[in-house]
């Protein structure tokens, strides 16, 4: 029976560790280094309004609760006191157990210490000078100061020099304390978070404070099909042409649409000769192409649906060849840059059920290679 109990306890412990590990994997740390500064001045030896407890004793109890809620995400943590300035734990990799042991060393016997809060802040500079990344200083104080350099001035310089976010836990009250000072220190950077000791007596409020200071929750992995890396309006999963340049029109597959110039050259039924009425149209196209020196052009020929597929394919090719020959021989375009291709009846642009529709389908289009439509 005892053996079974031990096995069950081991399994429960393993499950607990695995669950904690999985939870930590979903968290992203906001800071790389943090130092908690505990004010031990004489006013912190007074009772906190509304309680029978001294402020310093409440501060230590609050730290114990906070420590248990901080996830182990690879921070470096330090613990210092002000009034007098002292270091209880130098910056070191944070672990709940070891940091808890340091919190246990915070003295709660004070006496009539003066309040050089600025001196206590300045004493953190050597540790911050050797730290890299994002830094946070969490101050537990009632905000009173009556000695030394002004703490707001010191904190402002540190925020700028060492990239520090200042967070405050206030023990200020109407009898002893300076809430405005703590608010001003918190507001030095937009990342600052402030709360009162009374608020943090609630576990939900404490958890929120810890989250606001120490970490973010990782967002759920994005659906790759909902992403559109090149911003062309076609999701990554359907985009067969990733990396399309901005501003280009694309088709349903996310590929740039080539610039197609419809030449108003129509053909009589079963004919491929170019009628004189379309000579100016081709001359205008030749002039237009001067904007694109060196660009290759494919002349595409199309037919209506009269006749067999095989016959229409050959007819469309003759029509494309006819236009190409006119552009090269009559208008002097570079023959090495112009090709001709027949598509038969495969790409109608109008109904083949009417004479007008069939006339529209007997057409010529010029496709500019490497030149694409704009949105």
Intra-chain end-to-end CA distance of the chain, in Å: 76
Of the candidates 142, 137, 118, 138, the one whose C-alpha atom is nearest the C-alpha of residue 54 is 142
Q: Which helix or strand (DSSP H or E) is residue 340 part of? A: strand 338-342
Angle formed by the axes of helices 151-162 and 179-186, nearest 10°: 10
Query: Which residue's entry shows tokens 């906070």?
Result: 66
The pLDDT of residue 348: 94
Q: Please check whether residue 327 is in contact with residue 333, taking contact to mean a CB–CB distance below 8 angstroms.
A: yes
Q: Which DSSP category does 224 fall into?
A: G
The pLDDT of residue 22: 41
The pLDDT of residue 17: 41
The pLDDT of residue 149: 67
Q: Please check whether residue 73 is in contact with residue 24, taking contact to mean a CB–CB distance below 8 angstroms.
A: yes
What long-range pairs does 152-157 form, CB within 8 A, spacing at least 24?
A: 152/181, 152/184, 152/185, 153/118, 154/118, 154/121, 154/122, 155/121, 155/185, 155/188, 156/188
Torsional sign, CA 302, 308, 309, 313 = negative
Cα 119 to Cα 48, 149, 170: the distances in Å are 24, 7, 19
Residue-level pLDDT, tens digit, the chain, 375 residues: 555 554 554 444 444 444 444 445 689 999 999 999 999 988 899 999 888 999 999 999 999 999 999 999 999 999 999 988 999 999 999 999 999 999 999 999 887 666 688 999 999 999 999 999 999 999 999 998 755 568 999 999 999 999 999 999 999 987 677 999 999 999 999 999 999 999 999 999 999 999 999 999 987 676 778 889 899 999 999 999 999 999 999 999 999 999 999 998 888 888 889 999 999 999 999 999 999 999 999 999 999 999 999 999 999 999 999 999 999 999 999 999 999 999 999 999 999 999 999 989 988 999 999 999 998
């Amino acid at each position: 029976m005892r053996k079974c109990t031990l096995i069950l306890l081991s399994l429960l412990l393993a499950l607990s560790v695995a669950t904690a590990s999985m939870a930590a994997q979903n968290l992203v740390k906001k800071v790389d280094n943090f130092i908690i500064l505990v004010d031990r001045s004489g006013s912190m030896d007074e009772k906190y309004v509304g309680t029978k407890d001294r402020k310093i004793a409440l501060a230590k109890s609050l730290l114990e609760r906070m420590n248990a809620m901080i996830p182990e995400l690879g921070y470096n943590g330090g613990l210092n006191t002000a009034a007098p300035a002292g270091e209880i734990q130098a910056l070191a990799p944070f672990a709940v157990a070891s940091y808890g042991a340091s919190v246990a060393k915070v003295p709660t016997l004070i006496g009539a210490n003066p309040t050089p809060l600025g001196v206590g802040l300045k004493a953190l500079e050597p540790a911050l000078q050797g730290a890299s990344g994002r830094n946070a200083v969490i101050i537990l104080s009632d905000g009173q100061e009556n000695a030394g350099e002004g703490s707001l001035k010191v904190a402002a310089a540190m925020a700028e020099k060492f990239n520090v976010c200042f967070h405050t836990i206030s023990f200020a009250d109407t009898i002893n304390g300076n809430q405005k000072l703590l608010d001003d220190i918190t507001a030095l950077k937009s990342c600052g978070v402030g709360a009162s000791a009374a608020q943090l007596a609630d576990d939900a409020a404490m958890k929120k404070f810890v989250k606001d200071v120490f970490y973010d929750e990782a967002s759920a992995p994005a659906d790759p099909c909902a992403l559109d890396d090149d911003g062309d309006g076609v999701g990554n999963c359907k985009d067969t042409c990733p990396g399309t340049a901005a501003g280009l029109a694309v088709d349903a597959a996310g590929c740039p649409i080539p610039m197609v110039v419809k030449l108003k050259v129509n053909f009589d039924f079963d004919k491929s000769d170019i009628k004189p009425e379309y000579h100016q149209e081709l001359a205008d196209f030749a002039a237009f192409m001067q904007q694109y020196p060196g660009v290759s052009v494919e002349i595409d020929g199309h037919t209506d649906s009269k006749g067999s597929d095989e016959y229409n394919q050959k007819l469309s090719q003759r029509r494309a060849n006819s236009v190409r020959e006119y552009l090269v021989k009559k208008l002097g375009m570079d023959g090495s840059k112009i090709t001709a291709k027949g598509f038969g009846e495969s790409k109608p642009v109008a109904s083949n059920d009417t004479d007008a529709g069939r006339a529209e389908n007997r057409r010529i289009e010029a496709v500019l290679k490497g030149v694409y439509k704009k949105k």
